[in-house]
Structure 1
Amino acid sequence: MRKSFFLQGVGLVAAMSLIPAISAGFAASDVDTYKELDQFMSIYERVKADYVDKVDDKTLIRGAIDGMLAALDPHSSYLDARDYVNLKTQTEGNYGGLGLTVQAEDGVIKVVTASEDTPAYRAGIKSGDYITNIDGKLIYGSSLDEAVDKMRGAPGTQVRITIVRPGRDKPFDVTLTREIIELKAVKWQVKGRVGVIDINSFSKATGPGVHAAIAGIEKTLGGRPLGYVIDLRSNPGGLLDQAVEVSDTFLDHGEIVSQRGREKNDIERFFAHPGDEAHGLPVIVLVDAGTASAAEIVAGALQDQHRALIMGERSFGKGSVQTVMPLTDETALRLTIARYYTPSGRSVQENGIAPDVIVPQLNDPDYKARPRLREADLRHHLLNSVKGDDKILEDDTNPDPRFAATPDSLKKVGVTDFQLDYAVKTIARLGPAAPVKVAAK
């Protein structure tokens, strides 16, 4: 995991070595805590002795740990052996499953995002959908782990999930074929002399992938493009150092992000280095309700430094930093330790990144009725400690006539991704009239 953050980082915790210090603190300053711990042990013993079924110690202790962390925020959790391996595997860029990022809340499984080019994405599962049944069995009240286990299986096997999508009258079933997800962090293409860099996650391969994408785009064109579209839609985030590296790629000076802990002087700032690999060419960043965490750092940095135009929909709004603290070789504690702030001092927490230009995804027939799941909808989410004032933003009430298009009319003219098409055409209007040749490398 190394010394970086998922909006995470790595710290080392020797659990046993903390006990004397913690006990001394209790004895000196908080006698009431002992009473609470006595009450906890009393309940523990009563459950062990009198519960209708025998319960092993491991189950009770795990339940107590989960309950304590559930009282904090949605992103603090205990990672058992399976969870810890899954987390490390995801940050390395590949994992097994359907390609879904989900969140459990009040017995309901909500979809945060479906990663691009995965079974869930290809089936049209969207942020804000609810999963109610798996293979015909109701999962309401199940834990997140139980639901995930039921969706996993051998590659090539199928699973049927029932989706409730707000805005639709009836639930509907989707049958997915399981596969090994090798999530390529960065993909790129050239559309009309515009370089499109699609960032799917912030694993350790993301920064190098963006550098390679820029080089590939220039090589394909035999020169520099008209500009770049950075697609961060449905990107759930990842490593902080990779978000900083990607932002630095398009900046040559200034702050990228700051993270601030509990104490006022607990502030760490990250700055750009000289050298803009995009050579000052126009940049548009696409965001939506599935753009979260590290992806929001990139969008916020480029927006505040006036380096890019942000298009799409308001992002998810996860403005917190988690550190992963190994407890044993197989388990760890994921704990929220800080909030992060954009260069202008904005907290993304709850609010997300508001696009400079709101562009609806007109190819989605449900985009008007479908509510977007965001950080502010999660139970026990952190509050935003810095409130912004949107009154300073220009209010353009004139609708773009191109937003009147329908999914059918767009399909007829070959537009399968309206937001991307809109961004590419905007870059084409902003870019130079002819390509700029660059020396061979």
Structure 2
Amino acid sequence: MRFRTGLLLGGAFLAGIAAGPQISQLSYVGGGLTPHALAESLAKDSDSPAENFRLLSLFGHVLEQVKANYVEPVSNRDLIINALNGMLSGLDPHSSYMTEKQYGDLQVQTKGEFGGLGLEVQGEDNHIRVVSPVDDTPAARAGIKPGDFIVAIDGKNIDGLPLDEAVERMRGKPDTKITLTLIREKTPKPIVVTMTRAIIHLQVIRSALYDTVGYIRIAQFNEETAPGLEAAYRKLKAESHGRLSGLVVDLRSDPGGLLNQAIEVGSDFIRNGEIVSTRARHPQDSQRWDAHGTDITGGLPIVVLINGGSASASEIVAGALQDHQRAVLVGEKSFGKGSVQTILPIPGDGALRLTTARYYTPSGRSIQGLGIVPDVTVHESRDDPAYSIREADLAHIIKNQGGNTTKPPPRTDLPAIAATIPAEPPANWPSFDPTKPATDFQLQQGLKIVRAMAAGPRSADAGTGTGAVTEASRHE
């Protein structure tokens, strides 16, 4: 099958994506059923042709009753799209039906440029929850955080509003104002923020140099991620005049994206061995991807920062680097999304985003519902984590199954300083300001660890990235 395969937080849309064409009118074919036959059809669990006919007749009967008796007129299109959404969202949180417009939005998102606020949102129990603000956008500068709930737009309540309608209200012409009212956990009063809409050029890669340690931030996995990462590393190497001693890769609050980009990023740091494998319903559709034989850093020590907002594609990269003991993971447990979604276009009628496989880290782990536990736990602040919603908290999640272990290979290579790293900032630590790296406690601890790794002895095969994963621990 030649479909784009991505790892996306299901139902998430970026506020302000350019609109596409409307979906064409849908029709239905239905028949009538008596109340007794309706109950009998629901009670049966069979895929026989006769049972399928009865269930389709049930659907037609319900549609006719709603059309005839609902308090307000409603179109066939709205009813059937709602039915499609219900059918797919009832399977798992990441499967969904996309109209042509929504499918167009997704295609724009993966190419890295869109208009609006730079705010990724998701529907949850008839509420709109923030998945993540995009770096260096109006939403990020306004201080919106993952886990915030948007309850009003320009003073008008949006509770119960469908996700696509809420996103549509947040879109608008650049340089126009918009006010969002937010509810944040453990904040007693609603938070009101006013922003100016803008054309968002999604900066998926940012970099900085701290003495001789390079820092690369990956905000999302789209078509620009792997090329951008490689360019950023070349830039850091040039800025350090070839004296780069280590690297911090920041995957915090990275909601994921395209599977192929996760594979490419993992292959940039792991020289040999498996990056990730997937198992689908049909064995012939299962796949495994191996590294390309090149580590762009030549074996430099690496620290990877993760938190509860690190999901899907970012978890694939973190899991591969952890299993191969190629990097030390620092921060908080990740989101725990271990499934793969395939985009199945329907010509003229949008697309399905359907969960088609589970993925497994090189050691055979499925992190579905579990997340990745860092090698060194470091909390962002002394307060309880603000990002409290993870895969395990969502409805209808798929089971964690098929893995041969739930834990990464045991580590014996951590630097001695790792045992001395505090789990939270001291009481006098300044409030976090994203424009001031010195206030980023997790980053500062990551820099300490990578500097200790750079100063310590390095084995001759430091760049192979294969020591912890043996043939016996892999799965086919």
Q: TM-score band (shorter)?
A: 0.7 to 0.9
| Alignment partner of 1:268 is 2:287 | yes
Within 1, Cα distance between the matches of 2:313 and 2:432? 32
- Among residues 408, 411, 421, which one is paired with 2:430 in the alignment? 408
Partner of 1:219: 238
Partner of 2:89: 70
Distance 1:384 1:193, change over 3 A: same
Q: Are the equivalent residues in 1 in contact too, given 2:253–2:307 (CA < 8 A)?
A: yes
Secondary structure at the aligned position of 2:208 is classed as strand
Q: Are the equivalent residues in 1 in contact too, given 2:122–2:163 (CA < 8 A)?
A: yes
Shift of 1:185: 1.9
| Alignment partner of 1:297 is 2:316 | yes
**Identical positions, percent:** 46
Structure 2: gaps of 5 or more residues:
9-44, 413-417, 457-476
Shift of 1:426: 2.0
Within 1, Cα distance between the matches of 2:270 and 2:193? 43
Which deviations, in whole Å up to 9, do the C-alpha atoms of 1:9-57 show, x marking residues without a partner? xxxxxxxxxxxxxxxxx99834212111111111112222333332222
Distance 1:89 1:369, change over 3 A: closer
Which deviations, in whole Å up to 9, do the C-alpha atoms of 1:177-205 show, x marking residues without a partner? 21111112212111121111111111111
Partner of 1:144: 163
Shift of 1:406: 3.6
Distance 1:423 1:271, change over 3 A: same
Secondary structure at the aligned position of 1:256 is classed as strand
Distance 1:397 1:142, change over 3 A: farther
Shift of 1:408: 3.0
Secondary structure at the aligned position of 1:423 is classed as helix
Shift of 1:144: 0.8
| Alignment partner of 1:429 is 2:443 | no
Secondary structure at the aligned position of 2:353 is classed as strand
Partner of 1:337: 356
Distance 1:37 1:3, change over 3 A: closer
Partner of 2:394: 378
Within 1, Cα distance between the matches of 2:439 and 2:419? 27
Which deviations, in whole Å up to 9, do the C-alpha atoms of 1:371-397 show, x marking residues without a partner? 522111222222222472699799x99
| Alignment partner of 1:327 is 2:342 | no
| Alignment partner of 1:155 is 2:171 | no
Distance 1:265 1:302, change over 3 A: same
Shift of 1:175: 1.4
Q: Are the equivalent residues in 1 in contact too, given 2:315–2:372 (CA < 8 A)?
A: yes
Matches within 5 A, 1:127-276: 127-263=146-282, 266-276=285-295
Partner of 2:5: 5
Counterpart residue type for residue 428 of structure 1: R
Secondary structure at the aligned position of 1:160 is classed as strand
Within 2, Cα distance between the matches of 1:143 and 1:410? 34
* Bigger Cα displacement from structure 2, 252-261 vs 415-424: 415-424
Partner of 1:19: none
Secondary structure at the aligned position of 1:317 is classed as coil
Within 1, Cα distance between the matches of 2:47 and 2:164? 39
Partner of 2:406: 388
Distance 1:148 1:272, change over 3 A: same
Hey, which bits of structure 1, 4+ residues long, moved more than 6 A? 390-394, 396-399
Within 2, Cα distance between the matches of 1:184 and 1:409? 25
Which deviations, in whole Å up to 9, do the C-alpha atoms of 1:324-355 show, x marking residues without a partner? 11101461111110111111111121111111
Counterpart residue type for residue 404 of structure 1: P
Partner of 2:137: 118
Partner of 2:70: 51
Distance 1:225 1:389, change over 3 A: closer
Secondary structure at the aligned position of 1:431 is classed as helix
Distance 1:28 1:201, change over 3 A: closer
Q: Are the equivalent residues in 2 in contact too, given 1:167–1:369 (CA < 8 A)?
A: no
* Bigger Cα displacement from structure 2, 114-123 vs 337-346: 114-123
Secondary structure at the aligned position of 2:104 is classed as helix
Q: Are the equivalent residues in 2 in contact too, given 1:127–1:372 (CA < 8 A)?
A: no
Distance 1:369 1:406, change over 3 A: farther
Within 2, Cα distance between the matches of 1:339 and 1:118? 33
Counterpart residue type for residue 207 of structure 1: A
Shift of 1:4: 4.4
Within 1, Cα distance between the matches of 2:432 and 2:124? 36
Q: Are the equivalent residues in 1 in contact too, given 2:113–2:201 (CA < 8 A)?
A: yes
Secondary structure at the aligned position of 2:245 is classed as coil
Shift of 1:65: 1.0
Within 2, Cα distance between the matches of 1:256 and 1:318? 17
Which deviations, in whole Å up to 9, do the C-alpha atoms of 1:295-342 show, x marking residues without a partner? 111000000010000111111111111111110146111111011111
Within 1, Cα distance between the matches of 2:116 and 2:431? 34
Shift of 1:287: 0.8
Q: Are the equivalent residues in 2 in contact too, given 1:127–1:373 (CA < 8 A)?
A: no
Counterpart residue type for residue 430 of structure 1: M
Distance 1:358 1:223, change over 3 A: same
Partner of 1:283: 302
Q: Are the equivalent residues in 1 in contact too, given 2:425–2:441 (CA < 8 A)?
A: no
- Computed over aligned residues only, the root mean square deviation of the Cα atoms, in angstroms, reads 2.7
Secondary structure at the aligned position of 2:425 is classed as helix
Within 1, Cα distance between the matches of 2:273 and 2:423? 37
Within 2, Cα distance between the matches of 1:325 and 1:289? 29
- Among residues 440, 446, 458, which one is paired with 1:417 in the alignment? 440
Counterpart residue type for residue 370 of structure 1: A
Within 1, Cα distance between the matches of 2:250 and 2:172? 30
Within 2, Cα distance between the matches of 1:409 and 1:141? 35
Which deviations, in whole Å up to 9, do the C-alpha atoms of 1:268-293 show, x marking residues without a partner? 10100212111111001111111111
Shift of 1:261: 1.0
